[in-house]
């Protein structure tokens, strides 16, 4: 029987992880660094529901800090090596809202 090649792992994060990373919470930063060091063939993914929640938080978050953290993550997710998952349609209105948040901070 032939060995199966290593398939890259897809590692999904929750909204709170994204917000805490943007805020620089040490435990989250260290946890993500540990994951990156131990799972070399994995990719960090942001599921559609998390994108929706971050878009909502960026625009309507309960306080300025939460709105800023959501915008920061949406703007910097690529620099932090996260990829947005697109296999579930989030709808044009949601895409437009996230795009507005990104443009507002540019």
- Spatial contact of 50 and 15, defined as CB atoms under 8 Å apart: yes
Number of Cβ within a 10 Å radius of residue 98: 21
pTM: 0.74
Give pLDDT tens digits for 10-60: 889 999 999 999 999 999 999 999 998 988 888 899 998 999 999 999 999
Sequence-ordered list of residues with C-beta below 8 angstroms from that of 81, at least 6 positions apart, any chain: 36, 43, 44
Asked if the model's pLDDT at residue 100 lies above 90, the reply is no
Calpha distance 106→97 (Å, rounded): 15
Write down the pLDDT at residue 59: 94
Q: pLDDT tens digits, residue range 67-87?
A: 999 999 999 999 999 998 876
Concatenated DSSP letters of 23-48: HT-HHHHHHHHHHHHH-TTEEEEE-H
């Amino acid at each position: 029987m032939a060995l199966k090649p290593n398939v890259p792992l897809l590692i999904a994060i929750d909204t709170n992880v994204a917000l805490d990373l943007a805020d620089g919470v040490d435990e989250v930063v260290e946890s993500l660094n540990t994951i990156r060091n131990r799972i070399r063939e994995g990719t960090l993914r942001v599921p559609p529901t998390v994108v929706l929640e971050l878009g909502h938080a960026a625009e309507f978050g309960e306080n300025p800090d939460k709105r800023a953290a959501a915008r920061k993550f949406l703007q910097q997710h690529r620099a932090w090596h996260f990829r947005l998952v697109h296999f579930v349609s989030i709808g044009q209105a949601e895409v437009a809202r996230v795009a507005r948040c990104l443009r507002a901070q540019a």
